């Protein structure tokens, strides 16, 4: 533990055992917003392998009063995303004092990093000192599960309720995944979905591991039609705390059955039955707003330590672009989007070609070889062609 002046914190780079873990969990038990990514199981996330995850704990009077988690990249440190802050306070804590401790720990973890990014729920943003520049984000739609499923259903828009009933009438059913076979069935749907968007595709072995390594904090609900898996939704949750929409995939050919509408409704029912307190839907798009709920905004606090403050300059330029966006002709906007889509497809196809070339050099085909796709790079283990995609610098949901 580090004590410096009026700050006291501890930085962790692996899951603790014993007294520290007990104090950490005691803080989350007294928090109004405990999430999976603020829990000790954060270190069990397979997607964090090789990314240098860290945790800062605020200590006051021998008790943990706040938690912040994040990733230490080569020259930057980041806690959370715009749709997923990774911070929690005990409801009995002096949040200003706890935040000072967390910031002190974050800066010590940052060391010589050139950029420090901290994403917060907007009601916490004022607790961070003025050195950190502020940028607001739309945040997420948040449902209060204490209202119960019936009351929440009545808050859905008329269109949303109609589509849920239509999915049920069509014969779509939703059940939790029960084993590897169910996850494999969902993986096929996920691959189809990701390829349509030219997204990176995780190998099936890693995909399976993500569920089993965190099975106490993850739930996969599958939508079936005539016995076939047509869609799924992945939830992250902290027992007794917050459930978060982590991911979803669906077959394009099955969208007319409205499986995604029904999946979220069943997710709400499941979360209420499990005694969870809130359901964060992960975004604020129209589809999600139609489930009712409150839009909870987020804020990024950024400390730019780079030469000539190049990140601050980049933010300023981005703000100027946003100011003129309403005046840009729609034809230009459409062309820009088309160009972005084309570039994404070229990168995706380039990743496929690279993987095939590597496979040929090794004297075997992609489909028959012994390979594993990890961030678009072949590293050994069986893989199919559909498992290979371009490497991309993207954050997990």
Residues with Cβ within 8 Å of 344's Cβ and at least 6 positions away in sequence, in order, are: 198
Which residues does residue 66 pair with via DSSP β-bridges, in sequence order? 58, 89
Tell me how far apart the alpha carbons of residues 395 and 99 are, in angstroms, rounded to a whole number.
25
Helix (H, G, I), strand (E, B) or coil at 346: helix
pLDDT at 355 (0 to 100) = 47
pLDDT at 381 (0 to 100) = 33
pLDDT average per 10 residues of sequence, the chain (397 residues): 76 94 97 96 89 96 96 96 97 96 97 97 95 96 97 97 97 96 96 89 89 91 97 97 96 96 98 98 96 97 94 91 83 69 62 52 37 29 31 31
Query: Global pTM?
Result: 0.83
Tell me how far apart the alpha carbons of residues 345 and 354 are, in angstroms, rounded to a whole number.
14
Is 55 in contact with 35 (CB distance < 8 Å)? no
Tell me how far apart the alpha carbons of residues 285 and 306 are, in angstroms, rounded to a whole number.
34
Pick the CATH number of 157-291 from 3.40.50.1370, 3.30.565.10, 3.40.630.30, 3.40.1410.10: 3.40.630.30
Classify 2-138+297-322 by CATH class: alpha beta
pLDDT at 291 (0 to 100) = 97
Q: Using the structure block, give the residue that is written with the tokens 């005539």.
A: 226
pLDDT at 385 (0 to 100) = 32
Q: Assign residue 303 a region: left if phi > 0, alpha if psi is -120 to 50, beta otherwise? A: beta
**So where are the chain's domains?**
2-138+297-322, 157-291, 338-387
pLDDT at 210 (0 to 100) = 86
pLDDT at 50 (0 to 100) = 84
Q: How far from 49 is each of 44, 52, 72, 394, CA to CA, in Å?
A: 9, 7, 12, 15
Note whether 2-138+297-322 and 157-291 share their fold: yes
DSSP secondary structure of 168-235: HHHT-EEEE--SHHHHHHHHHHHHHHHHHTT-----HHHHHHHHHHTTTSEEEEEEEETTEEEEEEEE
pLDDT at 128 (0 to 100) = 96
Residues with Cβ within 8 Å of 4's Cβ and at least 6 positions away in sequence, in order, are: 104
Residues with Cβ within 8 Å of 176's Cβ and at least 6 positions away in sequence, in order, are: 219, 220, 221, 222, 270
């Amino acid at each position: 533990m580090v004590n410096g002046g009026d700050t006291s914190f501890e930085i962790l780079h692996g899951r603790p055992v014993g007294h520290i873990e007990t104090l950490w969990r005691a803080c989350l038990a007294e928090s109004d917003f405990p999430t999976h990514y603020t829990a000790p199981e954060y270190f069990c996330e397979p997607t964090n392998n090789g990314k240098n995850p860290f945790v800062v704990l605020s200590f006051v009077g021998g008790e943990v009063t706040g938690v912040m988690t994040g990733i230490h990249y080569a020259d930057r440190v980041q806690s959370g995303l715009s749709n997923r802050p990774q911070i929690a306070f005990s409801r009995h804590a002096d949040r200003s004092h706890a935040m000072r401790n967390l910031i002190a720990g974050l800066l010590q973890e940052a060391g010589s990093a050139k950029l420090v990014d901290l994403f917060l729920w907007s009601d916490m943003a004022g607790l961070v000192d003025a050195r950190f520049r502020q940028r607001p984000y739309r945040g997420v739609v948040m449902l209060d599960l204490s209202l119960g499923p019936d009351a929440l259903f009545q808050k859905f828009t008329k269109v949303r309720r109609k589509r849920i009933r239509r999915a049920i009438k069509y014969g779509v059913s939703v059940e939790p995944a029960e084993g590897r076979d169910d996850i494999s069935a969902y993986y096929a749907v996920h691959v189809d979905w990701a390829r349509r968007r030219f997204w990176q595709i995780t190998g099936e072995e890693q995909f399976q591991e993500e569920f089993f390594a965190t099975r106490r904090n993850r739930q996969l609900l599958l939508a079936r039609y005539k016995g076939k898996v047509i869609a799924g939704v992945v939830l992250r949750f902290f027992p007794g705390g917050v459930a978060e929409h982590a991911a979803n995939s669906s077959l394009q050919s099955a969208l007319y059955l409205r499986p995604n509408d029904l999946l979220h409704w069943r997710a709400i029912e499941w979360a209420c039955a499990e005694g969870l307190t809130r359901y964060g839907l992960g975004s604020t798009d129209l589809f999600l707003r139609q489930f009712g709920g409150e839009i909870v905004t987020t804020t990024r606090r950024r400390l730019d330590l780079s030469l000539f403050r190049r990140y601050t300059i980049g933010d300023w330029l981005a703000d100027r672009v946003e100011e003129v966006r309403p005046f840009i002709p729609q034809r230009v906007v459409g062309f820009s989007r088309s160009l972005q889509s084309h570039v994404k497809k070229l990168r995706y196809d380039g990743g496929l070609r690279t993987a095939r070339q590597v496979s040929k050099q090794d004297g075997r085909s992609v489909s028959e070889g012994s390979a594993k796709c990890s961030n678009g790079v072949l590293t050994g283990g069986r893989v199919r062609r559909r498992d290979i995609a371009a490497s991309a610098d993207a954050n997990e949901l």
